[in-house]
Homo-oligomer: A and B are copies of this chain.
Amino acid sequence: MTKRIDFQTDPSQYRHWRVEYDGPIANLFMDVDEDGGLFDGYQLKLNSYDLGVDIELADVVQRMRFEHPEVKVVVMQSAKDKVFCAGANIRMLGGAAHSHKVNFCKFTNETRNTYEAALADSGQNYICAIKGACAGGGYELALACNHIMLTDDSTSSVSLPEVPLLAVLPGTGGLTRVTDKRKMRRDLADVFCSVEEGVKGKRAVQWRLVDEIFPNSKFDDAVKERASDLAARSTKIEAAKGIALAPLQREFSDDAVTYSTVEVTFDRAAGRTRVLIKGPDGEAPADMAAFEELGDQAWILRCARELDDALLHLRLNEMELGLVEFQTQGDGAAVVAHEALMLDNADHWLANEVLKYWKRVLKRVDLTSRSLVALVEHGSCFAGPLAELLWAVDRSYMMLDEFDGDNRPTAAIALSAGNFGTYPMGNDLTRLQTRFLGTPEAVDAAHERIGAALEGQDAEDLGLVTFAYDDIDWDDEVRLFIEERASFSPDAMTGMEANLRFAGPETMETRIFGRLTAWQNWIFQRPNAVGEDGALQRYGTGVRGKYNMERV
């Protein structure tokens, strides 16, 4: 797969989804174009999906938040007869490299999380209206909605047939949401996940798989009524008009991707990449009216969008760059000022959306399977939301005192109120709380220094960076780290990071990415699933997978 996968799209380019807006209600139709697969070699029949379909869905969800803040209820449904969605396309999965399978699942999981959380974050409530077969990844699309309605007829059912049919797991949150969100009894879940044809009608309600069933003749009206009802009861912040998300300004070259605020450069020989984030080049907008006027050109939103796109580009298109070095450049006080406008107006719909988007982007950093390091150089601006990067990375190095011949402002970190609750990780703790699990008093000590310019020694003493080095040691220490990292097995790094980054409590979200995904990735390596005689290869041939029956 040498084709560059692009995560940027917009409604004019959609091939698989469309939205009909009706005041506070949006009807979201899945209508996958069979011939619109991201790669050759498979057809997307029966609303089955590949990464390209999910990239559009992620775009829909994002635009719903920024461009259509008037929407309170989104009704996810199929535009096809007799089928809601057949799940991830099996031929695509069968032909995909291990790394693509893993990254595909990660992105789809992240997308499910965005619309599941839209209710809590912004008061946008996704409900799912199922007519026809809703299988595998299709039911996982539904599970991430907050209310599931099903027609009560002979052809409409929900199912997770991955285990019996494909010898893999319902890995896009399916198993976890069945037990943790729907709180289905585990023995019934065991039965449900073993039955290819799924469950329908009353049993689907009794087993907690769906919330409501209606006969076909009454279904459309019931869905409309439920949507109106939920919209009427919504506590979403009122917003008449959204802001447009214009295409990102990007330039691709052989060894770089350049955005307006983010510059990504590749050192392929050394397997590393630098992500340089540039702080604001002007003062923060005076108020939210001015901010809305700027819209997607406001630094704090532009930067989030660009960083998000850069991360996805690295994940899917530059898989041999194992080390990501975060750097920043600019005025920390300006970063804090731009963030402060948002924090001070957190009850304004757009400020809320911007902050919640930063939360999502920073979670994307947490979940990026690369060794991450922050290099806090002179002239940098790790402050406010950018300071979160210091605790999202695996370790950080900071310049201490003056460096010979370097006349940039001395490296300093600036904490803001935002670092103490605005951007929780998937485990529902802040990055500082997670970092200081063993010494919670260190969070308080950091809190007392909000607003101060914390130079190297201070930052190291407060535990905000791993090491601070002076001019004499800096080059050697950073070089040694980079060389060391390049000598490690990338798989061991992935496993180590998946454990060390998520200390403390678990949530449904961390369980999906930690437990469920890890087991799925293991299965994605097992001959019973992916071997020549494995189930994924044999699917559709009429010959069942041939299994080695040894249990491990």
Stretch binding the partner chain, chosen from A70-78, A188-196, A297-305: A188-196
Query: Is B437's CB under 8 angstroms from A187's CB?
Result: no
A88 on the B face (CB < 8 A): no
- Assess A319 versus B190: contact at CB under 8 Å? Given A167-B492, A499-B169, A528-B492: no
In whole angstroms, how far apart are the Cα atoms of A493 and B394 in the complex?
34
Interface centre among A102, A506, A515, A523, by most B CB within 10 Å?
A515
A500 touches B193 (CB 8 A): yes
The 8 Å CB contact of A492, one of B179, B182, B320, B523, is: B523
Name the residue of chain B whose CB is nearest to the CB of A440: B183
**Chain B positions within 8 Å of A439 at CB level:** 183
The reply to whether the CB of A186 lies closer than 8 angstroms to some CB of chain B is yes
Q: Is A95 an interface residue (CB 8 A)?
A: no
Q: Which segment, of A129-137, A247-255, A400-408, A483-491, faces chain B? A: A483-491
Q: Which chain B residues border A179 with CB–CB below 8 Å? A: 437, 499-500, 503-504
Q: Check B498–A552 contact: CB distance below 8 A.
A: no
Q: How many residues of A contact B (CB 8 A)?
A: 92
User: Which residues on the B side are within 8 Å of A215 (C-beta)?
Assistant: none
Copies in the complex: 2
Q: Which residues of B contact A102 (CB under 8 A)?
A: 552
The answer to whether B528 touches A516, judged by C-beta atoms less than 8 angstroms apart, is: no
Chain A residues packing against B (C-beta within 8 Å): 98-99, 102-103, 162-164, 166-169, 175-176, 178-180, 182-191, 193-194, 208, 271, 319-322, 369-370, 393-396, 434-439, 463, 466, 484-485, 487-496, 498-506, 511, 514-516, 518-523, 525-526, 528-529, 535, 544-545, 547-552
A-B contacts, 24 of them at CB < 8 A, read A163-B496, A164-B484, A175-B500, A178-B500, A179-B500, A179-B503, A186-B394, A187-B396, A187-B435, A319-B552, A320-B551, A489-B526, A489-B529, A489-B547, A492-B523, A493-B551, A494-B519, A495-B523, A498-B519, A499-B519, A502-B515, A514-B514, A518-B519, A522-B525
